[in-house]
Structure 1
């Protein structure tokens, strides 16, 4: 993923940011046999060049298996490092105002700032809930994941992702940090358990690629920080072509 890589973080972190990605990183706890399966599709799947970046659209499906007798840990932050050859063009597109977004929802945002959507299946105890997430451009250094839950209580809130360009880093191009609000970790006093998420993100060259490494693998790194003080790390890669 050259493009795929961008995806996963991006939304991969893109998408799942609203509590989705969090759970996706929660599985690595040694004492709990948690599993995750991820399928990613990037269109197109050929890398661009520095002079002619290739815009991409990412489709991510993830299934998470957590034992029913397990209390999900609370994720406070998700950090993702993207490989060289990825390009984030948030500054080129209209950005939504965070204060207006928090008060009035995505309908207040410029139409061209809406970059994707995701749906999830989660459980609050034995009650199923289906979060809906809108991926919204926040400018050169921000991306918002506006998340809406209806059960067990209505919650509607933007989750903020901070993006830092790592200009001098030989390995990574960007660092994304997503901070998870408490009211999306625990709803009506019940910790949410994520089962599945499907998200699609990308408009024009908002997310783009400029190269494919010599080994034809885009490598990325993610970390989940929990309320227990535990940090779960995950490394992944996806094939790409020039």
Structure 2
């Protein structure tokens, strides 16, 4: 049976911007299992007056058991905890139109904020997606993703960032996965692993930053992914801070 894509886990980097441990997963009996590990350096929080810029390193792995259809993640939302700060509006940015015309090479050099790679299957053949993290400005980050097999496809996955109004979180991030990254040359793609690094650039030291650590000494986060098979999967977690 062909496997279907769980694409663009890079978007999970925002959700896991302050994560050092694998998340708690509410899968609704889904046969797909997700494990993750991310590190934040440094993990000592800054303050509102002096935000602490951080480098984020995220590793993820997906496995689906049984002879079942593998779901496509079509869209979703991630919630960034209080104490997290996104400063995309301070730095050079690149538009979706520019990316679409020529990729990151056509963008300002200082709009590049990270990179990533992964392992995936195009039916039964391995393929290795390459990701470039591009600043889109005050309200968006682009994860430019390139696949070489079974055909070359390149597209930007936008993560739209808005201030959370519920009072529980700092930001809500909504993403939509382009269809061109879900099935390539008629072949469904299954993402197995992903490794992404964001931030820590010399020209944008506080692109992603922290401003506080709660009294619990834990940053909480949450994310919801909407599946092609219907319904959604939610994961929640926390990581110590100081």
Coarse TM-score class (shorter-chain normalised): 0.7 to 0.9
Query: 1:20 aligns to what?
Result: none
- Post-superposition offset of 1:10: 5.7
| Equivalent residue runs for 1:100-139 within 5 Å | 100-139=98-137
**Structure 1: unaligned runs, 5 residues or longer:** 1-7, 16-23
Query: 2:166 aligns to what?
Result: 169
Query: 1:182 aligns to what?
Result: 179
- Post-superposition offset of 1:9: 6.6
Aligned length: 224
- Post-superposition offset of 1:13: 4.4
Query: 1:196 aligns to what?
Result: 193
Distance of 2:126 and 2:186 partners within structure 1:
15
Distance of 1:153 and 1:29 partners within structure 2:
34
Which structure features the higher share of helix residues? 1
| Equivalent residue runs for 1:52-91 within 5 Å | 52-67=50-65, 69-91=67-89
Q: What whole-Å deviation, never above 9, does each CA across 1:171-210 have from its counterpart, x for those lacking one?
A: 1000111100111111122221111111100031000000
**Structure 2: unaligned runs, 5 residues or longer:** 1-9, 18-22
Distance of 1:209 and 1:158 partners within structure 2:
26
- Post-superposition offset of 1:169: 3.3
Distance of 1:88 and 1:78 partners within structure 2:
19
TM-score by length of 1: 0.86
Residue 15 of structure 2 contacts residue 221 of structure 2 at CA under 8 Å; is this kept in 1? no
Residue 80 of structure 1 contacts residue 223 of structure 1 at CA under 8 Å; is this kept in 2? yes
Q: What whole-Å deviation, never above 9, does each CA across 1:199-242 have from its counterpart, x for those lacking one?
A: 1000310000000010011111100012233121111111111x
3-state SS in 1 of match to 2:101: helix
Q: What whole-Å deviation, never above 9, does each CA across 1:144-164 have from its counterpart, x for those lacking one?
A: 000000001111011111100
Distance of 1:132 and 1:71 partners within structure 2:
25
Query: 2:38 aligns to what?
Result: 40
Distance of 1:233 and 1:200 partners within structure 2:
23
The 3 A distance-change label for structure 1 pair 31 and 228 is closer
- Post-superposition offset of 1:67: 2.8
The 3 A distance-change label for structure 1 pair 14 and 184 is farther
Runs of 4 or more consecutive aligned structure 1 residues displaced over 3 Å after TM superposition: 12-15
Residue 56 of structure 2 contacts residue 198 of structure 2 at CA under 8 Å; is this kept in 1? yes
3-state SS in 2 of match to 1:152: coil
> Cα RMSD over matched residues?
2.2
2:222 equivalent to 1:225: no
Residue 9 of structure 1 contacts residue 81 of structure 1 at CA under 8 Å; is this kept in 2? no
The 3 A distance-change label for structure 1 pair 95 and 147 is same
The 3 A distance-change label for structure 1 pair 205 and 117 is same
Residue 122 of structure 1 contacts residue 194 of structure 1 at CA under 8 Å; is this kept in 2? yes
